[in-house]
Structure 1
Amino acid sequence: MPDPPVAASRWSDSVENYLKVIYTHTEWQPAPATVSALAAKLQLAPSSVAEMIKKLDRMGLVEHVRYGAVTLTGRGRLAALDMVRKHRLLESYLVAELGYSWDEVHDEAEVLEHVISPLLLDRIDARLGRPTRDPHGDPIPRSDGTVDRPVATVLADLAAGTTGSVVRISDADPAVLNLAAQAGLGLDSLVTVVRLEPLIVSVAGARVQLPAGAATAIWVARFDPATMPR
C-alpha cells in the first residue's frame, strides 16, 4: 500500500502560494528568497509581500531576517512540499490523461491545486504510476515529503562540445517550451552544445538555434566522455 498523503493544514490560497513560491525560488538556484525577489516573482508590490512575510513568520511557517532572506521552517517546508506535489501531479495528469500541451498546464494546475482532496491526489498519483517528475522535469515530492532533485547544469554553464541528457525545461517562459517542442527537444533528449552565442545545439543530428532565454531554462545531466558510446 502507498504511504498516506502528506498531512497539511488547509491554509488560505494566498498562504499556499507564498509557501510554494518561497520553496521553488531556491529549488534550482542558490540566490536567497528575499522580499524583493518574491515580489518580482509574484508581481506584487514589495510592501505587500513584506506584510505577508510578517504574517507567515507569526504563523511559524517562515523565518525572516530583516532586509535578508526568507526561509521556510520545518512546518512551512512540509506545507510547501504538499503544494508542490499537488501542482506537479496535476500538471502530469493534465498532459498524460487530458491531452494538454506542456505550456498550457501551469495556469490550470494553479487553480486546481487549492481544491483537490488528498484522496483524489493519491488516485491521480497511482493512475500515473507514481511519477517522479512532472512534464517539465521538476521533481515531484513523495507523499512522505521527501524529494530527489537530479544533478543537472543549465546550458549556459556548459562548454561547446558538451553532451548531455535533458532533465528539465523551466516552465517560466511558455515561448521557450514551444520552441523546444518544435525543435524536438524534450525530457531525456540527447543534446550537444555547438555554440553559446547564439545558442546552437545539436538534437538528433540536427542543429537548432534557440533563443537566449533557453540557455538558462534548459538543464542537462552531463555525460562523462569516457562512458559515451563510440
Structure 2
Amino acid sequence: MAPPPVSVPVVAEDTPLLWNARDEDGKTVKRDDASETSSQQRTYLSASSRCVIQLCALTLIFDFTQYSVYAPLTAVFEEIICNRYYSSLAASPFLAQRDCKVFPVQSELALVKGYKDTFNQIPSILLSIPLGLLADRIGRRPMLLLFLFGFFLCDSWVKIVCLFPDYLPLRLVWLAPLFKIVGGGANFGTSLLFTAAADVVSEKDRVDVFLKMSAMEMIVQIAAAPLVSTLMTFSNCSS
C-alpha cells in the first residue's frame, strides 16, 4: 500500500524564510512581533528590577536609622535625667561621685522609654486599615512620602526635646507619636514597602523579593550595633 502523499507548502517569492512563531493563545505571531514582545518583557523586567533595588535600599536606610539611634538616644535620655536628678539635690551635675546608675535615674529612664515605645505602636494599630485604603486610592508613592514626612516630624520632635532639656521636660517625647498620624507608624511603613514590591513583580518572584528585603533588615541588625558602639566611643554625650 502506497503511503499517503505529503503536502508540500507552496513557496513563493515573498514567503518568509523563517517560520512564524506562535504566542500563548496559539495565534500566529510574526518574528518582528515576537521580538517586540520579548523587548517589552525585558523592559518591564528592567523597570521592576530598578524598583526592587530602590525598595531594598529604602528598607536598608530606614531600618538603619531606627536601629542606629536606639543606643545613643538611650544614653542621651540617661544623661538628661541624671543631670536633672543631681541638680534637684542642690549638687553640681559634674561631681566626680555622680552615678547615673542609681535607682531613681534608671527608674525614670525605664518609664520614659517604656511609654515612648508603647505610644509608638498606637498609630500603626489605629491607622493601618484607613491608611491602607487611602494608599489603594491615591497610590503607594504619595503614601510613602507621607510616611517619611511623619517619621521625620516624629524624630525631629524627640531631638528638639533633648536639645532643650532645661526648658522642656523629657516626658514630652511621649507626644512624638502624634506626628506619625501623618503617615502611620513604622509597621505601616514596612507593610507599605512590601506591598509596593508585590505590585511591581510577578507572583512567582515575590518570595525572592520579600527575602531580599528581609535580608536588608538582618544586615542592619548585624552591622548597626557594632558600628554605633564604635562611634559612641569617639563621642560621649556627657562631654
User: Does TM, normalized by the shorter one, top 0.5?
Assistant: no
TM-score using structure 2 length: 0.27
Q: Which has the higher contact order (CA 8 A, sep 6+)?
A: 2
Higher-helix-fraction structure: 2
TM-score using structure 1 length: 0.28
